[in-house]
Amino acid sequence: MADLVLPAFEMDCRDWMVVSPNEAGLPEDTVGAPLLAVLSTMVIEDDIREATGALTVGLLDDDEDLEFREVAPGSAAHELLDFDQAPGTRRFVMPAPGQRLALVAEFVLQDDLDDELEQRVERLMTSFRWQAEVA
């Protein structure tokens, strides 16, 4: 049996807020996948611009040929590049080492042309690491 690995982000709490699905007013699952947490960030200047993300768990299908890009060299996170996603939506997958299990993150950016929101999402996804369980 493979070692259990746990997800970890280096999250700047000045930029991001994490809430449970219940606190965000969302269901416990999304399309049958358990919803683990909701992430939210805002940029407040002349107006308020927001990005919201949902973290779910998924299973990778060996037969599925996903088109993706590595978020950063050596990063565990990969951005899914599908042609039918809604404008302002970015999807990421972080496959667990040696398992079919993956963490999936989907972000909706209120203004899909906002550089600061894009950079926050990129930094967060770049910081993602799988960590071995500490006994």
Residue 74 lies in a domain: yes
Residue 77 lies in a domain: yes
What pLDDT does 83 receive?
62
* pLDDT tens profile 95-118: 888 888 889 999 988 766 668 888
Residue 8 lies in a domain: no
Residue 32 lies in a domain: yes
* pLDDT tens profile 25-67: 777 766 677 888 888 888 888 888 888 898 988 888 876 677 8
Contacts of 103 (CB under 8 A, 6+ apart): 7, 36, 55, 56, 57, 58, 93, 94, 96, 128
State which residues form the domain around 88.
Answer: 26-100+108-129
Phi, psi torsion values for 123, nearest 5 degrees:
-60, -40
Residue 1 lies in a domain: no
Token reading at 32: 């049958």
Residue 95 lies in a domain: yes
**pTM for the whole structure:** 0.82
Residue 4 lies in a domain: no
Domain count, the chain: 1
Residue 67 lies in a domain: yes
What pLDDT does 109 receive?
87
